[in-house]
Chains A and B, each alone.
Chain A
Amino acid sequence: MNVDYLIIGAGVAGTTAAETIRARDERGSIVLVGDEPHPLYSRVMLPMVVDRRIPAEKAYLKTDEWYASARIEYLRGRRVSALDAATHRATLDDGTEIVFGKALIATGGRPKRLDVPGERLDGVYRLQTLDDATAVRDSVRGPAVVVGGGFIALEFVNGFMHYGLKTTVCLRNHSFWSRHLDATGSALLERHLAAKGVKIMKDVVPLAFIGDTRVEGVKLSNGESIPCASIGIGIGLEPNVHAADTVARSAHGVLADEYLTTSAPEVYAAGDIADFEDVLAGHRHVLGNWMNAKEQGRVAGLNMAGERTRYERVSSYSVTALGLNVAFVGDVGSEGNETIARGDGETSYASLIIRDGKLRGGVFLNRVADRGPCAELIKSGKDVSAFRKELADTNFDLKSLLQ
């Protein structure tokens, strides 16, 4: 098969790229390869499916008819098993050979595995796909255990608590988001969850899930065993790099420049797979959030269709954990950077990340009003090093630094 544009991965990055290309190039042929059976749906809405705020159908962002009307050939339930950037050839898992003009790698990631016995028992849940969400919705029961301390783990806490289940969270380290949230921030979140009845265990990892067909308990590294009927695992993603054999990659994904071009000039990368040059952060990283994936899909699509657009967006993501809002804005990797604590952590808190005198990112707990100004400050590239005292003062309006 010969195609002008091969899009590998039919999530929000890939689908947005296909849609963007079609808006610029009416005639080019577009093939979209995705390993799920569904039209595009919103992974962000999966927690709403879990707790029945919406029926599963409401999570769809595209209809079956949309692909046909946009003349995008959508190969469902398929993966690209090999890609040769030099000869512009790709091979699907069913043996189909595709010769492409330009290709986009938007394969995202898959939930990390714990690699412990019993990981495939019924009642051991992930929350990445629509099928994962309906499985939790239809079969969850207590008591419940959550493994992990990030966004997905907190969505499991929300879902389990929605159904009134006794819930225990197991943190591998000593805090939530141990790489992004400091002790003060994590303590605020921990107090909040504990007050709602969530039990939190620290510095533990599961060694085995016990059960016959359905999980009945979990054996932990501290010697304890907890009886449970449901386990939600949210410990992060690992990149789906199988389609990227011949382009340069890192341990985190496929390397891309600020135009989302890979080491091969006509192969692009976008979304959770892209270890991209972030001009606002001043370094290369992977950003695993919806806003980033959507906008990178758009920018990659523009560039594939012949434009030359840099990816420059301050993306953010947030979760409301049993009523407490946690938001990440911009580059939240605090390692080796200066951080400024904003607030005392009693009821709200922010940790602002500074590098080379510029604001690069922030983690916000119940500080919704700071998010917008923070994003604009990051984008402005303003030197804030003379304002450390002001940034730490919650009575100081961040907006006034934007004048």
Chain B
Amino acid sequence: MKLKIVVDPALCIGAASCVTVSPLFFQLNDENKAVVIDNGSAVAPADRTYERVVEVDEEKKAEIILAAQSCPTTAISIFDEDTGEKLFPA
């Protein structure tokens, strides 16, 4: 399935809990903001990809939602790209 992951850089404070929970989909950039990467894809320090659609299985989906839930500033939103349903925040 496809998920759309969106980070709000205005809310992100670089706590990096998402990176800790799901390092294959989140990394910090040189502004200390979380950017969305594609299943471990390389990330440049200057990357500004705050939104990305990724292909995942159930296990990775659960991990990504856990990462979004772990964010202390609710900077991460997750959508089911196929149905448009907002999976987090509910």
- Measured CB to CB, the residues of A under 8 A from B are 12, 42-45, 48, 53-54, 61, 290-291, 294-295, 313-318, 320, 325, 327, 368-369, 371-372, 375-376
| Contact across chains for B14 and A327 when beta carbons are under 8 A apart | yes
A371 to B32, CA, bound (A): 10
Across the interface, which residues of A come within 8 angstroms of B20, CB to CB? Answer: 291, 313-316, 375
Interface string of B30-74 (1 = CB under 8 A from A): 111000000000000100000000000000000000000010111
For B28, give the chain A residue with the smallest CB separation. Answer: A368
| Contact across chains for A42 and B70 when beta carbons are under 8 A apart | no
| Contact across chains for A320 and B13 when beta carbons are under 8 A apart | yes
Across the interface, which residues of B come within 8 angstroms of A54, CB to CB? Answer: 11
Residue B16, interface by CB 8 Å: yes
A290 to B70, CA, bound (A): 9
Known: A44-B73, A290-B15, A318-B16. 8 other contacts (CB 8 A): A42-B73, A44-B72, A291-B16, A291-B20, A295-B70, A314-B20, A369-B28, A375-B16
For A44, give the chain B residue with the smallest CB separation. Answer: B72
Across the interface, which residues of A come within 8 angstroms of B32, CB to CB? Answer: 318, 320, 325, 368
A318 to B20, CA, bound (A): 14
A-B interface, 4 closest residue pairs, ranked by CB to CB distance from nearest: A44-B72, A290-B72, A291-B17, A368-B32
| Contact across chains for A372 and B73 when beta carbons are under 8 A apart | no
| Contact across chains for A316 and B74 when beta carbons are under 8 A apart | no
Residue B23, interface by CB 8 Å: yes
For A60, give the chain B residue with the smallest CB separation. Answer: B74
The tally of CB-CB contacts under 8 A between chains A and B is 70
6 example contacts (A-B, Cβ-Cβ < 8 A) are as follows: A43-B72, A44-B15, A317-B15, A372-B27, A375-B16, A375-B20
Query: Chain B, interface size: which category?
Result: 20 to 34
- Measured CB to CB, the residues of B under 8 A from A are 10-11, 13-17, 19-20, 23, 27-32, 45, 70, 72-74
Across the interface, which residues of A come within 8 angstroms of B30, CB to CB? Answer: 368-369
| Contact across chains for B73 and A45 when beta carbons are under 8 A apart | yes
From known contacts A45-B73, A295-B70, infer whether A376 and B23 are also in contact, taking CB-CB under 8 Å. yes
- From B11, B14, B72, B74, contact of A368 by CB (8 A): B14
From known contacts A368-B28, A371-B28, infer whether A291 and B72 are also in contact, taking CB-CB under 8 Å. yes
A327 to B32, CA, bound (A): 10
Q: How far is the CB of B20 from chain A (nearest CB, A)?
A: 6
A92 to B29, CA, bound (A): 47
From known contacts A320-B32, A372-B28, infer whether A294 and B74 are also in contact, taking CB-CB under 8 Å. no
For B19, give the chain A residue with the smallest CB separation. Answer: A372
Q: How far is the CB of B1 from chain A (nearest CB, A)?
A: 21
Q: How far is the CB of B7 from chain A (nearest CB, A)?
A: 15
Across the interface, which residues of B come within 8 angstroms of A376, CB to CB? Answer: 23
A294 to B71, CA, bound (A): 10
| Contact across chains for A318 and B14 when beta carbons are under 8 A apart | yes
- From A43, A313, A318, A372, contact of B13 by CB (8 A): A318
Q: How far is the CB of B72 from chain A (nearest CB, A)?
A: 4
Across the interface, which residues of A come within 8 angstroms of B13, CB to CB? Answer: 44, 318, 320
A53 to B12, CA, bound (A): 12
A295 to B15, CA, bound (A): 14
Across the interface, which residues of A come within 8 angstroms of B70, CB to CB? Answer: 291, 294-295
Q: Which of B14, B27, B72 has the most CB of A within 10 A?
A: B72
A53 to B13, CA, bound (A): 12
| Contact across chains for A372 and B72 when beta carbons are under 8 A apart | no
| Contact across chains for A48 and B14 when beta carbons are under 8 A apart | no
Q: How far is the CB of B45 from chain A (nearest CB, A)?
A: 6
Across the interface, which residues of B come within 8 angstroms of A317, CB to CB? Answer: 15
A376 to B23, CA, bound (A): 9
- From A290, A316, A369, A372, contact of B23 by CB (8 A): A372
Q: Which of A43, A44, A295, A368 has the most CB of B within 10 A?
A: A368
Q: How far is the CB of A70 from chain B (nearest CB, A)?
A: 11
